[in-house]
Amino acid sequence: MIYFDSAATTLQKPSTVGRASLYALHHLSTPGRGAHKPAAAAARVAFDCREEASALFHVPPERVVFTFNATHGLNIAIKSLVHPGDTVLISGYEHNAVARPLSTIPNIDIKLATSAPFEPESLLCSFKEKLSESVSVVICNHVSNVFGYILPVGQIADLCRKRGIPFILDASQSAGTLPVDCEALGTAFTAMPGHKGLYGPQGTGLLLCGENAPVHTLMEGGTGSLSASMEMPDFLPDRLEAGTHNITGIAGLLEGMRFIHGKTIGDILKHEKTLVSRAVSGLSSMAGVRVFAAEHLFCQSGVLSFQVNGMDCEEVGRRLAQNGIAVRAGLHCAPLAHYSAGTLEEGTVRISFSAFNTLREVDYFLRAMQEIVKNK
Half-sphere exposure of 181 toward its Cβ, with a 13 Å CA cutoff?
A: 6
Helix axes 359-374, 313-322, angle to 10 degrees: 120
Would you count residue 50 as binding other proteins (CB under 8 A)? yes
Shorter beta-carbon distance to other proteins: residue 235 or 324? 235
Stretch that binds other proteins, among 76-84, 199-207, 233-241, 250-258 (CB under 8 A): 233-241
| Torsions phi, psi for 33 (to 5 deg) | -120, 35
Cβ at position 74, least distance to other proteins in Å: 22
DSSP three-state, residue 231: coil
Q: Which is nearer to other proteins, 200 or 237 (CB)?
A: 237
Tell the smallest beta-carbon distance from residue 250 to other proteins (Å): 13
Q: Is 38 in the site for other proteins (CB under 8 A)?
A: no
Closest distance to other proteins from the beta carbon of 54 (Å): 10
| DSSP category for residue 286 | S
- 61 scored as a contact of other proteins (CB under 8 A): yes
**Residues touching other proteins, count (CB under 8 A):** 25
- Does residue 60 bind other proteins (CB under 8 A)? yes
Options 70-78, 111-119, 212-220, 236-244: segment touching other proteins (CB under 8 A): 236-244
- Cβ proximity to other proteins: between 5 and 241 the closer is 241
Cβ of residue 241: shortest distance to other proteins, in angstroms?
9
43, 53, 164, 167, 171 from 57: Cα distances, Å = 21, 6, 22, 16, 11
| Closer by beta carbon to other proteins, 196 or else 258 | 258
Cα(34)–Cα(51) distance, integer angstroms: 22
Distance CA 3, CA 329 (A): 14
Taking CB under 8 A as the rule, does residue 31 contact other proteins? yes
Cα(352)–Cα(3) distance, integer angstroms: 9
Residue 251 and residue 45: Cα distance in Å, rounded?
6
Our finding on whether 330 is near other proteins (CB under 8 A) is no
Strand-strand pairing, 303-308 and 348-352:
antiparallel
Q: Footprint of other proteins on this chain (CB under 8 A)?
A: 31-32, 34-35, 40, 43-44, 47, 50-51, 60-62, 223-229, 233, 235-238
